[in-house]
Structure 1
């Protein structure tokens, strides 16, 4: 489950809370209790998600990433996300990650760009048969965008305007900018050529 899955849990949690309240007011005691139990399950799942994010941040630091962190997501989740957005990649992949920027770091633009380039180069050199997806309003380095354009010709990447489709109302943080882009990039032996830096 990635960020969109978390958003779905938020939406279900809010809906379940409202349903429990309405059932209680309407005198339906047993269904209201079941809704409260479901709320407990959902809040536990949300807590588990945040634990996974913390573990992903730590693992990314251990791997040597400075600015980015990788959140592992299931292949079926990514396939569903691609299908919902009408974006398809024909190539198979063994692993999938959401790429996130460590927003706790406040860096000058030049340092930010350099660290981003170094992290992207690390991904390119250390991963194979891996699909990366992201949603951001942060400009990608020109060299990486050129790499994406080359991969698009092989149907191994895309870089499009707009967000990934939302799956629930959420108060979770999302980029709020008219220049938000979503993208995916499959790293395999065919995408190892070219330089990011």
Structure 2
């Protein structure tokens, strides 16, 4: 299937602090890859390097064969990001949250109504599609954030601390969704300090 993500000897410094030091790994297409480490280990920095939000000081990064520094547009089309902080809009319902994201990030909106329904059903949120997100549990908000990351049909999902603020049942549900999506060929790079 080939490599989805490849890092070779990547280093990132913030003044005198080295946040990522000579990091190398590769993620095969269709794989679920875990980036494990304690808080402050550089996991989120690594994700920000992969998506091109930060520039590396040394080394090479390829996402679907594209360099995030020089080919940012191609990289952004290939990935969906679920950040550590669930940043869904509490006053909006799930449908409006996804429409807002689509208006900002999707080139063609013609298929979006069907895609929104498909994703909300997949994430078991369809029955709550008209409820304000502020009434949702942590697990439901994480599933909505995952649906949003999938809206443009990326090949790779970067999921930063997926179980933050999620109860035991919500964690199980979330991992089941990840397994189902992996079986459809989606690659996951998951950062966590939790096994």
Q: TM-score, normalised by structure 1?
A: 0.30
Larger Rg, first or second structure (1 or 2): 1
Q: Pick the structure with more helix per residue.
A: 1
Q: Give the structure with the higher percent strand.
A: 2
> TM (normalized to structure 2)?
0.30
